[in-house]
Amino acid sequence: MTIYEIITKKKHNVELSTEEINWVVAGYVSGSIPDYQMSALLMAICFCSLSDRETTDLTMAMARSGDMIKPETGGFNVDKHSTGGVGDKTTLIVAPIVAACGVCVPKMSGRGLGHTGGTIDKLESIPGFKTEISFEKFVENVKKAGLAVAGQTGSLVPADKKIYALRNATATVDSIPLICSSIMSKKLATGADGIVLDVKVGDGAFMKTYEDAEKLADAMVRVGKLAGRKCVAVITDMEKPLGRAVGNSLEVIEAIEALKGNAPDDLLEVSLVLATEMLYVAGKGSTEDCRKMAEEAVSSGKALAKLSEMIQLQGGNPEVINDYTFFAQPKRSKEIFASEDGFVTGISCEKTGLISLKLGAGRETKESDIDFTAGIIFDKTVGDKVSKGERIATLYTSTKCDIDAIAEDFAKVFTYTATENPCPEKIVKKVIKGY
Ligand code: URA
């Protein structure tokens, strides 16, 4: 077996055997297969795709490339994963809701990627909050509070770490089998009994069309099922940023407000559907019962109390919940005004993500520091009526970026029409239950 033969097979759309896939993953992790040959294979996969069997084999080989852990929390463990979006702070809302309903959420999360944000960066905007905790402490916290959110340790799925970095540099990210194996290998290696996947679709997501999002959702659910996990995928809209805040501390504040009962409609609906499905996979009752439980966890204040408990257990200052001045404050801001009368028809998600990156909310390189205060608050969203000169958003930063030039670019993020759209996009498009 040689890597040259395997690349040639895939280039001609021939199925790879389980042995060949295992051999490639092991060889790439050990360093015996160099980046340039792995890149060629990844590009061949982008063009010729993988069969269901090959995708499952790749996922399992990647999952087994490092430690396979199982948090022994004494309960049913549910995990949630988003394929990546802009303004997506749902983990900060959903994990406390589910924990408040008595289901354990041991969650390992990632940092921001490209124009999309990451839960770990958001949580680190809370003064004192530690995301790098030992596995023992992580499990202990879940046993105490029902939830913990930590960064993934280096020994988990090293194959994904290496392959993802290579995909990022070789324009091979947006392939359905490669995204499926990347996400599901991490979920399978962290031992969740139930997995709820939020598959984003639209301009701000890796999947731009509904058809591709559905294919990805089906592939992930199938792999989860084959691995013996209860798996549900929810396809949700990412044609515009989720909620009204983009940026790290700004999104944490929006999540806290959501748990106080003040969520924008789109954010509330996605969060409640995800929480409902997590409770459902944990066997908490019918979908209707689970939805009611999730709503009550918010209205009773129990979910907010869970967030506070998690912040305290991970070294953060829980006072941020009552007083937002405990967060670092932005040094500069700039208001943005509507350029015409009418209705907002679109807010480009990808452009919003890139602008928040320029303001300092994300990393331009792996080594860049994040400005936790940077980001955007939207006053207006898709479907809203606006008058020329009315404020539509505010930009925030503490970096030395050229905020005036960024504001000029940002004005192009909005599009308008003279008449109201009677059929706005549905925020939750489909729920696929894999068992
Ligand atoms: N998120 C991941 O973890 N992997 C991908 O390939 C895409 C999104």
| Residue 84 CB–ligand 1 contact under 6 Å | yes
> Which of these ranges, 230-234, 285-289, 404-408, 418-422, has the smallest mean pLDDT?
418-422
Q: 199, exposed or middle or buried, with CB in 10 Å at 0-12, 13-18, 19+?
A: buried
- Which residue among 88, 121, 160, 203 is the active-site one? 160
Q: What is the pLDDT of residues 327-373, one digit of tens each?
A: 999 999 999 999 999 999 999 998 999 999 999 998 877 677 899 99
386 CA → ligand 1 middle, Å: 36
- Which residue among 65, 109, 182, 185 is the active-site one? 182
**Domain residue spans in the chain?**
3-48, 78-322, 329-417
CATH topology of domain 3-48: 1.20.970
pLDDT number for residue 363: 80
Query: 9 Cβ partners below 8 Å, 6+ apart?
Result: 16, 20
* Mean pLDDT, range 237-250, rounded to an integer: 96
Longest dimension (CA), the chain: 66
CATH superfamily of 329-417: Pyrimidine nucleoside phosphorylase-like, C-terminal domain (3.90.1170.30)
Tell me, yes or no, if 186 is annotated catalytic: yes
Our mutation pick for probing the ligand 1 site, out of 183, 188, 216, 220, counting the most ligand atoms within 8 A of Cβ, is 183
Q: Does 3-48 match 329-417 in CATH topology?
A: no
| Residue 179 CB–ligand 1 contact under 6 Å | yes
Three-class SS state of 234: strand
Query: Which residue is closest in CA terms to ligand 1's atom 7?
Result: 179
The chain-wide mean pLDDT, for the chain, equals 94
- CB–CB of 1/19 below 8 Å? yes
Rounded to two decimals, what is the model's pTM?
0.93
Tell me, yes or no, if 332 is annotated catalytic: no
pLDDT number for residue 115: 66
User: Domain spanning 78-322 has what CATH number?
Assistant: 3.40.1030.10
Three-class SS state of 386: strand
Tell me, yes or no, if 167 is annotated catalytic: yes
The DSSP bridge partners found for residue 105 are 147
pLDDT of residue 311 exceeding 90: yes
| Residue 163 CB–ligand 1 contact under 6 Å | no
